[in-house]
Structure 1
């Protein structure tokens, strides 16, 4: 039977060439971590099963679903149909299909898939060992056995409560009812939200974004805010094991170059006006009551207004001061476009190129005790590290290696489930302000029928987060060696390996460096 085995960090396509070589796969993992591989076969499977020998690991089987990349990532912003302008950094000429969405195998019709992803999970208490087993792939007439070997190293991925890397992915609450056709606020709505929270936690998100309060009016006058959705969401997130919650944005600019911010419920009233202050007072007083009533003070942070920049930095500081008056002690976390926000931000999150262009000043903030994360989004596009489906899959993973290299302690992305469009399986470049976002920029999961589907990019990003935790352990032990290993994978947000083999070799060196003074005779 013809097969093709691929790592978890390289793209598989419906037209990927197959071979007739005897299939076998060797994997490496840490306790509390994950690893995996992909299988493409000529014939659809009648059944796929995994049999372990004497030291079983947990394995989940997914069918790989093709997704259409309708346009390529443009050199500067959004997408392009000019392949000549982007062929130096994209993987294929759009439009093309790539296996990104992951459907749990037990939800697929038997015999309907020939592409699979195998996720292997290692328990936190796993002892160092080499676990062996076999995957049995059966079609109607043939059977093939794939030998599996997984070396569990004597190192551990910490729990989210002990993580060195913070992570926040923005969440779109409207898409729970728009894409899943469930009434907002219904039992099925919140049941789906619980699934999405579990998916975020599986990605190693430490912070769960809550929806903002909804304004309440009487005779056209603002009377207060309804925080019931935020309260329900927060309770579910904490029940599922989220370490932290993040309050949703409450203000935005109308024009990028304007110096004023406006409440999201009133685009005509500036936050620096007296009426704006009274509205903010109503909001923050009510929100503070919710936080106190639920004892969330030690688990809460707040985003106020996305991407403050040079034109509105002064207004943002006023907004932050009003917030601190009513919710003292709650940290403010913000994606920022300027460093001129001192006192207004507690967790600075510059975009990847913003950080590199202004590294000296951001590192000065860090040196003086400020906490720095970073984020990626549709701009800048081109070869800049992001999780677009036409960039090498190594990028989705390696971006967190570079976070470790720069000693940044968190990662943010705006697009967890912002499904924009009618069918993101056939058009993954979502429309935005008359243009198209790079493929997958708006989402890293997919809407299923009553459930949520992960993606191979989610698996790669989680792998990068786990790599970050191991790199951070080596940074504490031998920072020079850690930096050397990272440099073999990436040296900037535009300079990185496209070869999954290079990244996995570096990861092997990472394991060796961490285990050099530990028992490894297994």
Structure 2
């Protein structure tokens, strides 16, 4: 007789086939607020000789409110870089749980002697209040009940405050055109982008990269990425004429999807601002490249073009009333040796930007100290000097290079190591978070396109999990990763902390975090076990509810 096992576990528990998942929700009540997405998992296993099939029946007050997806194992050749630490689930290549894929409850698979997981999430809505229950009943091929899993979720009739922190994950329009084989800015391309941006915003990502010109990011010197240029340029009588119609359409679409803020893609090449980005223009009836790697960033021709372009763009941005919503990038990740060149390009654009802020991923404090960047975004492992000098409105980022001690989102890391970002952003008063890869489906340096369902590490260049948060579904709609869901939980945590702070004090919230962690939380030392986050939110949620209810009754 086949033996079946079923466990309700947290959203932070990564389930591997050969390891019994920890019962990490024992003694913890899941709870949340109206407007929150509340996630958990159900792990299951069949001790059988052959693969079997069955179905799931849902019961309880939440049976019609939850969404259930399968947590699929995805391949990783490069789970981490050579320099790491001891806080990885594994450092070996293999299969890791990541993709959340739609599943029919009428047909689930029992793989012999392997643990697998279902992802369950609930979007708490007005009308839901108090303790709600969910029962999953599992059946086998003969439609016999073989087990069930139960949980309760307490929903408080309270809305969290709106998200105030900035969150951007660079959106790669060209990768969607390339993967789906559609013409950039065709009707189908716009449709696909809207599908992705709708989800983008839904998960708490409220700023997006706008490719006025094709972003000069992760592109080999002398090579180029598929052209996705939102600003049309025409050369007439030795002067440049600009059409911003597509850019305006992009802004409008993003705002309709819920995105509030925009970044104008980099005006100079990555790693030093030595060259101009690729710029296409209509000249004598033909579309030609007028600037690119061959163009020195300080050349008279590009500087003349850039001045005309920025003057025209700023005029339009002001007309569209976007002054408080737009940031400009110059060059991504310049190093100390690039300071003078960065200073030159900054000086060349400042007069044209008329007060619009310049923001870049800059990890050397000297860039901020010398005044060449308004809003530095240092890597999380280079934050200390910026914090020590109390830089206002500070942001942070991480990428494939931040694999030791600090937070990140690699497949091979515990989910708690991803979710701690919310606690750290609140604790250090960080204004925003930036990451370079929402949907980067190229190899390193964009030498070739990849299929992200088969290659998750940009061709063994970046640890799996760095280059993208979503998978390109067959129907032009994104499929989510559990990492995206966990990042969204981190953003929700910040909102909960802020609400409790309004009802008590910042020091009160900080004390709750310290007491629950049972250790000081720093950038390099923090709990990454799921119980910490579940307990912390259980305490914070109840504190908020008690105070709000007491206030209403007083």
Classify the TM-score, shorter chain.
0.7 to 0.9
Alignment of 1:188-267 (within 5 A): 188-213=188-213, 214=229, 216=233, 223=240, 227=244, 229-253=246-270, 256=271, 261-265=274-278, 266-267=292-293
**Is 1:437 paired with 2:462?**
yes
Distance 2:60 2:402 in 1: 45
Distance 1:244 1:398 in 2: 24
Distance 2:21 2:361 in 1: 44
Alignment of 1:109-508 (within 5 A): 110-112=107-109, 115-123=117-125, 125=126, 128-141=129-142, 142-143=144-145, 144-153=147-156, 155-159=158-162, 163-213=163-213, 214=229, 216=233, 223=240, 227=244, 229-253=246-270, 256=271, 261-265=274-278, 266-292=292-318, 294-339=320-365, 340-341=367-368, 343-361=371-389, 363=390, 365-366=391-392, 371-421=393-443, 422-431=450-459, 436-450=461-475, 451-476=477-502, 477-487=504-514, 488-489=516-517, 491-508=521-538
Using the TM superposition, give the Cα deviation of residue 275 of structure 1 relative to its aligned residue in structure 2, in angstroms.
3.1
Larger Rg: 2
- The CA RMSD measured in Å over matched residues stands at 3.2
For the 8 Å contact 1:217–1:223, the answer to whether it is kept is yes
Secondary structure of 1:312's partner? Answer: helix
Match in the other structure for 2:222 = none
Task: Please report the TM-score for the alignment, with normalisation by the length of structure 2.
Answer: 0.80
1:67-104 deviation digits (Å, cap 9, x = unpaired)? 1122331253xxxxxxxxx5722102422212211112
Task: Call closer, same or farther: CA 1:45–1:26 in 2, change over 3 Å.
Answer: farther
Using the TM superposition, give the Cα deviation of residue 115 of structure 1 relative to its aligned residue in structure 2, in angstroms.
3.2
Using the TM superposition, give the Cα deviation of residue 291 of structure 1 relative to its aligned residue in structure 2, in angstroms.
2.6
Q: How many residues get paired? A: 491
Distance 2:351 2:22 in 1: 66
For the 8 Å contact 1:272–1:315, the answer to whether it is kept is no
Using the TM superposition, give the Cα deviation of residue 326 of structure 1 relative to its aligned residue in structure 2, in angstroms.
2.9
Distance 2:436 2:527 in 1: 25
Match in the other structure for 2:71 = 64
Secondary structure of 2:383's partner? Answer: helix
Task: Call closer, same or farther: CA 1:69–1:230 in 2, change over 3 Å.
Answer: same
For the 8 Å contact 1:396–1:457, the answer to whether it is kept is yes
1:110-137 deviation digits (Å, cap 9, x = unpaired)? 34576310111112x4565112232333
1:199-249 deviation digits (Å, cap 9, x = unpaired)? 211220111211123475769989456655533322210121222222111
Distance 1:250 1:211 in 2: 10
Match in the other structure for 1:82 = none
1:32-76 deviation digits (Å, cap 9, x = unpaired)? 2121111232356644353343x7873211121111122331253
Using the TM superposition, give the Cα deviation of residue 24 of structure 1 relative to its aligned residue in structure 2, in angstroms.
11
Task: Please report the TM-score for the alignment, with normalisation by the length of structure 1.
Answer: 0.84
Secondary structure of 1:359's partner? Answer: helix
